[in-house]
Structure 1
């Protein structure tokens, strides 16, 4: 508005810049509330009237046209500001509900469970939603510490609902069932009552009862990454591939549990395919095993956060899929 006024005074009324004073309330409606827009509109109207009198434009149609332009843009800006503020309020309410739902669905995992130290990271592909189809849980039970990480097929509220079914079934079965395979069967039955149209959930269940070993049950999920105390890195690939949860109607045998070494100082990273299938601008997958050195951080949560930041740096763009990571460490004391 100041620039328009300066040009109008220096160049004269023949330039025809006076209607551009209405840019003030137009931009005010984009950033401020209706009060600020009204204030800038009144200022623009006063400036337009003063410059019109100074240039003698009200003796002809140009002056009144400029004045009406400012009034029209100010009114439109007020309406736009009110609508924007109302939508921002609705969006804030939706985000608040989403955050509450996420806290119920994905509860914070305990930092310590027996001799295990745990850390989690969750990055949603849709930042506005802050919640997606990836899921994780840690339950300390009389049968050992049991962990779950999974990925629901699909997106949106339907995926969130399916994740809630899986987590609810796991939280009950983890306490009730003494065998990890029985826990997986409970999840299968719960999904059989819920899923339709051959939808599925990939998942890995892990159980740690004592020093030395960890038992895994893999339902078509990416193999966990093991980092031994001596620095050895390897993927914990199951002996045989199995179908994801929810596809039991194909009458195939479920996955077989397999035991892997898990001693003092070892750590296992459970993750979803949003991590392993993340690509950079040239289409190269994220080299998770080559980044295992980032997990050497003393604090488990700091290590997971370093890995998450490296993942985002690799993609150099918003993630195309949700990415969840659950780090399990066997601490020495």
Structure 2
């Protein structure tokens, strides 16, 4: 993912303090690098090439107007002061070459006037471009802060789990999109959500913020996971348009060996067993996305997934599985996960990220999020895992005892 970012406490930037001598040397190097970056090297090379062509050919007036390319090109890379410097240099060289080549005074004045006009227009364009860049930098800074507020960084361990997250927005310049995720410890165990808002841009961001706000509040208040989902549904029903919705998977780990999963029209999680096999946790009773329950009348159901020592669970959005290569082939996430799974969730997602980026040729066309959890072998007692494996389907609350056992599907 070209713009993917890893959210974890260990990845926040750290500021180091240096003594005065080292700091002043670093500041001097920074100023020198900044000056070198702002130097209009390419425009100067263009001006030099035109001067050499004139000196070699002696064609005079044929070459002199081309010197205006120097300040025009400098407007795309330099500040106004650099543009003016290139323009003055080009004018001086034009006057010297014109006199050397015997260009008539009227024609030389026309060339110099045109060069001055191009220089002034280029300086104005450079000033406007520089102003827009500063505004864009401020907007991107706000977007970055908004993303950190919306998608709070997740540490490498939450409760009993090892955790890793990767996120990439389709609108790379905005650095924020319509995919959402959260993982929070609560009095009722660790709870998590991953979802995909219909659409992109600011409306999708607003909906994602609404879902995450309600989830974080309800996850702490409600002992029942289906009630958490119901609160999100009610909030969306009040605030969304009739054609908007959010696909989501809400999961909870209330006790050792028991992982609860509620799937609302979202891509099924992938369960990686300690042996390395990958199974898709398909919903037994498919439910509509959040925000559409009033149209269908269907309610989501709860699946209980036994989670043993060394097991892992990958939650993701469709920006990953719908990523296509140049031959329009989808990325096979389950197969990629089976190839790269390891005991370190961060390493696993690093490998998946690199493979996915290679698959699409370096740029995703949809928001994409990956959330991987691993149960270390030393945390959960083996006796807590239900015999026989599989998932138990329980209807909406009030919930009767589990109705049956369903084994996870095969790898995609």
TM-score, normalised with respect to structure 1: 0.97
The reply to whether residue 66 of structure 1 matches residue 111 of structure 2 is yes
- What's the offset of the Cα at 1:87? 0.3
Structure 1: any 5+ residue segments left out of the alignment? none
For 1:187, the equivalent position in structure 2 comes to 232
Work out which of the residue numbers 213, 218, 222 in structure 2 matches 1:173. 218
For 2:90, the equivalent position in structure 1 comes to 44
For 1:55, the equivalent position in structure 2 comes to 101
For 1:30, the equivalent position in structure 2 comes to 76
What pairs with 1:310-321 in structure 2 (closer than 5 Å)? 310-321=355-366
Aligned equivalents of 2:116, 2:190: Cα separation in 1: 68
Residue 164 to residue 47, structure 1, CA distance change in 2 (3 Å): same
Residue 216 to residue 52, structure 1, CA distance change in 2 (3 Å): same
Aligned equivalents of 1:155, 1:133: Cα separation in 2: 6
Work out which of the residue numbers 321, 327, 337 in structure 2 matches 1:276. 321
For 1:80, the equivalent position in structure 2 comes to 125
Q: Are the equivalent residues in 2 in contact too, given 1:201–1:245 (CA < 8 A)? A: yes
Q: Are the equivalent residues in 2 in contact too, given 1:115–1:332 (CA < 8 A)? A: no
State the SS of the aligned residue for 1:57: coil
What pairs with 1:67-216 in structure 2 (closer than 5 Å)? 67-216=112-261
- What's the offset of the Cα at 1:221? 0.1
The reply to whether residue 2 of structure 1 matches residue 48 of structure 2 is yes
The C-alpha deviation readout for 1:288-331, integer Å capped at 9, x for no partner, is 11111354334322221221221111111421110001001101
130-139 or 203-212, which moves further after superposition? 203-212
The C-alpha deviation readout for 1:212-260, integer Å capped at 9, x for no partner, is 2311000000000111100111100010211000012114221100111
State the SS of the aligned residue for 1:63: helix
Q: Are the equivalent residues in 2 in contact too, given 1:121–1:304 (CA < 8 A)? A: yes
Aligned equivalents of 1:316, 1:207: Cα separation in 2: 36
Cα root mean square deviation, aligned: 1.3
Q: Are the equivalent residues in 1 in contact too, given 2:71–2:84 (CA < 8 A)? A: yes
- What's the offset of the Cα at 1:65? 2.2
Q: Are the equivalent residues in 1 in contact too, given 2:61–2:103 (CA < 8 A)? A: no
Aligned equivalents of 1:96, 1:7: Cα separation in 2: 46
State the SS of the aligned residue for 2:214: helix
285-294 or 94-103, which moves further after superposition? 285-294
State the SS of the aligned residue for 2:75: helix
Aligned equivalents of 1:270, 1:218: Cα separation in 2: 11
Aligned equivalents of 2:57, 2:151: Cα separation in 1: 64
Runs ≥4 residues deviating over 6 A: none
Work out which of the residue numbers 263, 270, 291 in structure 2 matches 1:225. 270
State the SS of the aligned residue for 1:31: coil
Work out which of the residue numbers 283, 288, 298 in structure 2 matches 1:243. 288
For 2:372, the equivalent position in structure 1 comes to 327
TM-score, normalised with respect to structure 2: 0.78
Number of residue pairs matched?
Answer: 332
Residue 264 to residue 157, structure 1, CA distance change in 2 (3 Å): same
Q: Are the equivalent residues in 1 in contact too, given 2:60–2:98 (CA < 8 A)? A: no
